[in-house]
Structure 1
């Protein structure tokens, strides 16, 4: 299949050497390996750079270039890989609720997620929610707590609208809401354009990164480095002192080189 994706290069990038089959074991293995190998990062919107959704460009950036990306890039790449393996995958869109107070109006569809059919039943797959990375596919089973290595998640449904929540130290926190309406590439183009260019979108003014390593989540939020244990329990939090510290943090905990001088990245925060 000539879709611009090198399957062998992707598998090497995530460190997967086992068998591949359209079953739950493969889906879970690839999902976990992906989030542990490819960090979430939205540095290009912060730098005012365009974010392409063309698969060859995404492959060059996340696989060959050993960068990270945000939800549209991550989940478009993962969708293409799963389809290559033989899965039936439907791209969905979510309305992010992570920073919204209870009862706030719903915002636009600015998040991409996947519905994946496996012999064991449909599963939600999402390797690109950077506020709380999901490290395993979740069953489309509502009202049931689902524990993964790094978190506990709860899927709810009311009148055809699904809500995904994550357990946090303060209790359940809404991640996003979505329906089962399949999205077109043009739908993602609009969401990606808003998310990567609008001054109302958080990624154009904030440095946001997350990576799962071992039993810890590493997060950069502007000039703060946060390390979390399971279910969002903060283990360490400290300031990123300067550009040199930011560059070293990216290399050490996120496995990537800064895509621009670290001084430039810091200068763009809040600009």
Structure 2
């Protein structure tokens, strides 16, 4: 994959006007701005369209066309941005545990990034969706680390690392992973599964998420949820295609694709996502 990226266009996309350099303040600021500006969304798999992981395609979709994407798209783009700035970045792969038992055996279908900076290792992840990490975590086990939203931590268990967030007083695991760098081909294979397999959640359901300065926005088929820190979640069922389109455009900042079957696909969505 070519690492040539239009950094200026990316920075405009995420509304980051400050100077950038391979330092902690830039890493944190970009990670926060990215998840606020570029939404998590799976419209391509939902519409039966390919998910192209080539950097030119990622820039066109996520930067130029005003779209979002899921973990492989988001984190491959972010990795290219960081490398262009001068960061040392490697990709990792994880097994998702969110909403599942701690001992669940799940496939490796999630991407995250490890960044080396001033002799320390950090983790960033701009592609997990509804419970996205906001900012960066020091790669250190068993310490609570503050973020602009919930506290996060890393724990080691059964030879793996686990990313956890504190939700309503309970530490919940997002995913488990190891520290072996992953070649692009492994992401290509995992991406093919999650974007095309008939049992994939991304093929059968609409999912969108965006992080704001004070909370999280989520859409699961027709259920739109606003979670603000310290308050009960606000949930609303979207009844019509017009409501779904308006929510995707106004709340998730998605420039919807001009696809002939988009309205039909949105109209066929169930009230909520199967567990």
Pick the TM interval, shorter chain.
Answer: over 0.9
Aligned-partner Cα distance in 2 for 1:14–1:262: 26
What is the aligned partner in structure 2 of residue 21 from structure 1? 21
> In the alignment, what sits opposite 2:133?
134
Asked whether 1:55 is paired with 2:61, we answer: no
Structure 1 stretch 3-12 or stretch 52-61: which is displaced more? Answer: 3-12
Q: What is the CA distance between 1:192 and its match in structure 2?
A: 0.3
Q: Please list, as runs of the form range in 1=range in 2, the aligned pairs for 1:1-271 lying within 5 A after superposition.
A: 3-104=3-104, 106-119=105-118, 121-158=120-157, 160-169=159-168, 171-230=170-229, 234-259=232-257, 260=259, 263-267=263-267, 269=269
Aligned residues: 269
Shift of 1:159: 5.1
Distance (whole Å) between structure 2 residues aligned to residue 176 and residue 131 of structure 1 = 13
Task: Verify the 8 A CA contact 2:153 2:165 in the aligned structure 1.
Answer: yes
TM (norm. structure 1) is 0.94
Matches of 1:182 and 1:268, distance apart in 2? 40
Cα distance in 2, alignment partners of residues 211 and 253 from structure 1: 8
Structure 2 unpaired stretches of 5+: 271-275
Question: How far does residue 214 in structure 1 lie from its aligned partner after superposition?
Answer: 2.6
Provide the C-alpha distance between the structure 1 equivalents of 2:148 and 2:229, rounded to a whole number of angstroms.
7
Give the C-alpha shift of residue 114 in structure 1. Answer: 0.2
Deviation at 1:239, TM superposition (A): 0.4
Q: Is the 8 A contact 2:3 2:84 kept in 1?
A: no
Q: Secondary structure at the match of 2:149?
A: coil
Would the alpha carbon gap of residues 267 and 116 (structure 1) be closer, same or farther in structure 2, given more than 3 Å must change?
Answer: same
TM-score normalised by structure 2 residue count: 0.92
**Is the partner of 1:157 in helix, strand or coil?**
strand
Summarize the Cα distance change of 1:178–1:37 in structure 2 as closer, same or farther, 3 Å threshold. same
Q: Which sits farther off after the overlay, 65-74 or 147-156? A: 147-156
Give ranges in structure 1 of 5+ residues lacking alignment.
Answer: none
Kindly indicate whether the alpha-carbon contact (under 8 Å) linking 1:47 and 1:268 is maintained by their aligned counterparts in 2: no
Superposed CA RMSD: 1.9
Q: Distance in 2 between matches of 1:165 and 1:68?
A: 24
SS at match of 2:72: helix
